[in-house]
């Protein structure tokens, strides 16, 4: 394990991960840029199991394909930037305020309804069949300030937003990118 001048840990090994992930860990924010020699599954399982007080998790540049549902055990998490598919469990993160670069899927759209504390949401690859569930979830987010939709796609079709009867009053920033319909 290497600790540089900015108090950042880099080049962490399996042994280092065991050392810093004790039940009394005071770590609250984790940025992962690469996984190195640690198996990806072991890293995420360790984070979900041992960093119960974690408030921020940024996996945007990590070489991961998806996040396991165990991330739902991080009940104090407020900031999550996965950049990958989420298998499930995110609906348990009721304190979550920022969720960026998450890839849309059927499970995610259902679980978004539970994330009523979200202030910022960035979602990509929405499809036509996601429209109704997505719109229902957005209407329930009373604190939502920023919504960014990346690459709304559906082959030759468009993302149907007819189900969206109103947006949260708190919404200040809206960025829609892709083939959209209202």
Across the range 4-14, mean pLDDT stands at: 51
pLDDT tens digit sequence for 27-42: 787 777 666 656 666 7
Q: What is the pLDDT of residues 47-86, one digit of tens each?
A: 777 777 888 888 777 777 777 777 888 888 888 887 667 7
| Residue ranges per structural domain of the chain | 8-180
Q: What's the CA dihedral at 101, 45, 19, 21 to 10 degrees?
A: 70
Question: What b/e sequence results for 147-161 when a residue is b if at least 16 CB atoms lie within 10 Å of its CB, and e otherwise?
Answer: bbbbebbbeeebbbb
| C-alpha atoms less than 13 angstroms from C-alpha of 72 in its C-beta half-sphere | 15
The conformation of residue 104, written as its DSSP 8-state character, comes to: P
Identify which of 117, 37, 135 has the alpha carbon closest to the alpha carbon of residue 80.
117
Residues 67 and 43: beta-carbon distance below 8 Å: no
Is the domain 8-180 a CATH 3.90.480.20 member?
no
Whether this model's pTM surpasses 0.85: no
């Amino acid at each position: 394990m290497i600790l540089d001048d900015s108090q950042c840990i880099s080049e962490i090994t399996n042994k280092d991960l065991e050392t810093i992930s004790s039940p009394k860990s005071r770590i609250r924010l984790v940025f992962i840029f690469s996984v190195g020699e640690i198996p990806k599954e072991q890293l995420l399982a360790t984070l979900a199991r041992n960093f119960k007080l974690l408030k921020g998790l940024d996996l945007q540049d990590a070489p991961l394909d998806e996040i396991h549902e165990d991330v739902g055990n991080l009940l104090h998490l407020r900031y999550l930037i996965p950049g990958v598919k989420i298998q499930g469990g995110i609906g348990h993160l009721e304190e979550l305020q920022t969720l960026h670069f998450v890839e849309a899927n059927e499970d995610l759209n259902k679980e978004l309804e539970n994330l009523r504390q979200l202030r910022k949401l960035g979602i990509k690859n929405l499809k036509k069949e996601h429209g109704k569930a997505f719109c229902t979830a957005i209407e329930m987010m009373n604190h939502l300030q920023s919504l960014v939709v990346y690459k709304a796609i559906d082959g030759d079709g468009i993302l149907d937003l007819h189900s969206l009867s109103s947006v949260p009053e708190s919404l200040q920033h809206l960025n829609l990118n892709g083939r959209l319909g209202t």
